[in-house]
Structures are given as C-alpha cells and as structure tokens.
Structure 1
Amino acid sequence: GTGRGEVSAVLIFCRAVLIFLKDIKIPHKVENIAIRKGEQLCCEYDLNPNLYKTYISLTAYNVPDHWYPKLPEKRTRVDECMAWNHALLPCMGQPTNPEKLEKVLADLDGTLDKLENVFLKNQPFLCGDDISLADLLAVCELMQPLCGGRDILKDRPKLLSWRSRVHSVLSDSFDEAHSVVYQIREKFTAKLSPCSKQQSVSAVYLHQ
C-alpha cells in the first residue's frame, strides 16, 4: 500500500492475500504500508520473509479444501505452481532499454506457454477442476501489466477463459483488490502518446 487511510494493494502478494481473506470471509484488519518509505523494515514486520505464509493458517478457519488440498499429490501440484509463479515477473525497478525489453517479451511468451501447456492444459483451473491458491497468485501476477495499459492475455483465448473463470469465482473481492490496478492503468494510458503506448510494456515488467 501507499498510506494508512485506504486499501491500496499495489503489490501482487498483498492483492492475493486480500482477495483470499475477503472471499473466505476471514476476519482481518488491513494495515497499509508505505514501502517507498521503508515502513516494511520496521521491527513489527521484520520477522519472517514469508509473513503471508506465517500469519495465514488455513487450518485455523473453515477454508474449503480446494484452496490448498490435503491430498499430498494435489497439494504438491499447488505448491509447484505457486513456487513457479515467482518467476513470472521477476524484474523490479530496472532501467528500460530495447535489448532488455526484447528479452522480457521473449521470456514472457515462454512463460505464458508454460502456464497454458504445463499447468492449465485442458482443465478449468491451474491445478484441476477447482480454484486453488495457485490460481489466485498467478492471476494477480498477470493482472499487473494492466497498470501499463497492456493486457498480456488478449491473444491467448485459453488463458483469457481461465482468467474469466477465476474472476467469476472471486467476483467482488477480485475487483475490489484490483481497483488500484485499474486506477493506475487509466492514469498511465491517459498520459501516453500513441507512440509511447507501444512501449508501455517496458514500464510494466520492469516496475512492480
């Protein structure tokens, strides 16, 4: 987040956690953190690099099993997909140049191919017939480029259909958590010239 007065889930994992809490109706308090000011480094947060794993206990609430299945083979698949998700948009705060942009676009195609052909295949969701935490993390990552006015799934009908299914399941909690993404997209595209819009992907993939 950017302040303490309103929910502004800019970071991918923050949006995923927020959607999950709201969808499952787990009681929670949102505390926005100004990362640019280094508030995340305060002692109350400097406990564990995986705070979202530490503080959200799926066993403490009546969470449907499909989110994080108890069966080892299903849980392993979800874990695998979530671990792989970290590679979707790895670059942060790096200067843009044509060579880097070209590589990012090439890597993106390969990444989306793998998501579609290795994980999704012909299933409704990434790990089977039901939505899981893997879908939630992946969809939040793939929504990030909208901040730069670019829908990276527009030419991938199978992934578009998957995203629509995820959105349908999560409904209001999805749109609420991504409201900041929609706002940034509108401001970003409004400032761009037609020529600049062709390069908007660089700002998206090199800034999270």
Structure 2
Amino acid sequence: MSLKLYVDALSQPSRALLIFLQASNIPFTKCIVKLGAGEHLSEEFKNNISRFQKVPVVIHGDFHLTESVAILRYISRENAAPNNLYPKDSKLQARVDEYLEWQHTNIRANCAMYFRKKWLEPKITGEELSEKLLLPYERRMVDSLNDFENLWLSSGAFITGDTLTAADIWAACEIEQPRIAGYDPESERPVLSRWLNNVRKSLSPHYEEAHTLLNKLVQKSTMKKASSKL
C-alpha cells in the first residue's frame, strides 16, 4: 500500500498516525503541512488535499481520507495493519475502539484545550489567559488524566492488557501535548508514568522521532520558566 501522509508535528493525531505507519512498516510518503504558516487554509490544500483543511490526511491513489481513527480503520480493512496494533479479532478490536471512542470527549478534548488556552492561543494573540480563566480547563484536564489512569491502566502494561495497540499510540500522543504548556502529566501519577514509558520504549525510535519538535518546545518552555525565576 503506497500512501501520501499529510502531517504537522504539532498535531497529536498526525504524530499518532505517523508512528503507527512507521511501526507497521507500511510504505508512505510524508508530506509536511505547516499549520503555523496556514498552509492548510490555502485554496490549493482545500481543493486538492482535504475540504476540511485539517491534518492528518492520507491519499491512497485517488482516495482522500481525513480523521486519524478513520484512517487507522481504513488501513486495517486494506489488510496492511499488523494484528498486534489493530487486532482482527472482533472482541480485541472492540477494546481498542472502545478507548478511541472514549478519548474524543475526555483525554483528547481536555488535554488539547488546555494546551490551546495555555500555550497556543497566547502564542498567536500575544495575550495570556488569566489563572482564574485557565483553571477550569486545567481541572477538566486533570480529571481526564486521573480517569485515564484509573479506568484504563488497571489490566496490564497497556490500555487493553499486555500488548501495545493503536489505543496506546493515540493516547500517548494526546497526553504528551500539555507538556509544551508546562504541565507534566506524569507527576504524581506513577501508573500513568510507567505506562507512558512503556509506550515510548516499545515504539522506539519512531516515537522519539515523531516527538522531536514537541520535546524541543518543552525544553524551551522549561528554560524560559527557569530564567523567569532568576
């Protein structure tokens, strides 16, 4: 299966799909879309790549598809996904899907919104949100992370048990995102921290490569925070 994958390294679903394809040894061409430069908003992107003007996007022949989970399932139906990452067994696959459906209004929604309000929007507008206005976003994120640790990490080393699946990839990429905004999701969550490090190690070196930009931004934010205290 030859694919074109359109991604941006700051997009959590882009990173998840990139890691998944690499870990699956599926050949593809990576096409970088610079969201910060508004490349996804161009008429060319809208007309030729995706009418939704978002990433990730895959093009397979003349077939264009958006939404990372839909892409995951499409690849699986095309018989290219390895069984361990997206099982063909109906019940095992349902467990992966169960998490992927749950995360939309939990981990994804709340981690992404905190990141957006704390880091992304101030970077764009130059105006920081007050601590009072930011607090509800942080509380919802914290609740989601606690729920994730308590509800999904009690049955083994990974979300669905002792085998890493796509659910772990998608979850980890979302949970990494708040680190850019200065929030450490591993702090005081030993079970989550152990799981996240299991995911990182299991997917090395693809995981580190996909998170190169994120880790640079985390380091930059940490240095800035440290210098402000001097």
TM tier, smaller: 0.7 to 0.9
- Across the aligned residues of Structure 1 and Structure 2, the Cα RMSD in angstroms comes to 2.5
Q: Which has the higher strand share?
A: 2
Gaps of 5+ in 1: 1-6, 197-208
In structure 1, distance between residues paired with 2:202 and 2:112: 27
In structure 2, distance between residues paired with 1:192 and 1:134: 33
In structure 1, distance between residues paired with 2:191 and 2:35: 35
Gaps of 5+ in 2: 1-6, 55-65, 122-127
Listed as ranges, the matches of 1:138-157 within 5 Å are 138-157=171-190
**Once the 2 structures are TM-superposed, how far is the Cα of residue 193 of structure 1 from its aligned partner?**
4.8
In structure 2, distance between residues paired with 1:127 and 1:100: 36
CA contact (8 A) 2:84 2:165 kept: yes
Which residue in 2 is equivalent to 1:69? 87
Structure 1 residue ranges, 4+ long, deviating more than 4 angstroms after superposition: 193-196
**Once the 2 structures are TM-superposed, how far is the Cα of residue 191 of structure 1 from its aligned partner?**
2.1
Summarize deviations over 1:102-146 as a string: whole Å, max 9, x none.
212322232122111212213111112211111001101111122
In structure 2, distance between residues paired with 1:185 and 1:172: 19
Moved more, 46-55 or 22-31: 46-55
| 1:167 is aligned to 2:200 | yes
In structure 1, distance between residues paired with 2:209 and 2:71: 24
| 1:34 is aligned to 2:27 | no
Give the 3-state SS of the residue equivalent to 2:101 in structure 1.
Answer: helix
In structure 1, distance between residues paired with 2:228 and 2:138: 18
Moved more, 157-166 or 29-38: 29-38
Which residue type is aligned with residue 154 of structure 1?
Answer: S
Which residue in 1 is equivalent to 2:147? 114
- Identity over aligned pairs, percent: 28
CA contact (8 A) 2:75 2:81 kept: no
For the structure 1 residues 137 and 190, does the alpha-carbon distance in structure 2 shift closer, same or farther, using more than 3 Å as the test? Answer: same
CA contact (8 A) 2:158 2:164 kept: yes
| 1:158 is aligned to 2:191 | yes
Listed as ranges, the matches of 1:1-208 within 5 Å are 9-41=9-41, 42=45, 43-47=47-51, 50-52=66-68, 53-54=70-71, 57-86=75-104, 87-88=106-107, 89-91=111-113, 92=116, 93=120, 96-193=129-226
- TM-score, structure 1 normalization: 0.80
Give the 3-state SS of the residue equivalent to 1:125 in structure 2.
Answer: coil
For the structure 1 residues 54 and 168, does the alpha-carbon distance in structure 2 shift closer, same or farther, using more than 3 Å as the test? Answer: closer
- TM-score, structure 2 normalization: 0.73
If asked which structure has higher relative contact order (CA below 8 Å, sep 6+), I would say 1
Q: How many aligned residue pairs are there?
A: 191
